[in-house]
Amino acid sequence: MLRQRPIDNFIVDFYCAALGLVIEVDGDSHFTEEGKAYDAERTSVLEGYGLRVVRFTNVEVFREFEGVCWRLEGLVGELLDPP
């Protein structure tokens, strides 16, 4: 797992090459109309490389860390054993 990894013209928060997984942790700036549009374009580009992008808010990470971990654990299982 790499932290703040450049991919294309973006710097992703976390990247796991083995799983093709990008994890983003979004603060307040991501919830403006401009931020939402930028994130949608960015996600589309990253998914175009075959990457799976998952997003969490800062609030989720700080207040519901265990739940974030459970969601990631399920996602990792899904990526390791696709249907």
Domains (range + CATH), the chain: 2-80 (3.40.960.10)
Q: Could you tell me what percent of the chain has a pLDDT over 70?
A: 94
What's residue 30's pLDDT?
Answer: 62
Going by pLDDT thresholds of 50, 70 and 90, the confidence category of residue 34 is confident
Greater pLDDT, 28 or 13: 13
Give the pTM.
0.87
Is the pLDDT at 65 greater than 70? The verdict is yes
CA distance readout (Å), 16 to 49, 61, 70, 72, 74? 13, 18, 17, 12, 15
Torsions phi, psi for 62 (to 5 deg): -80, -40
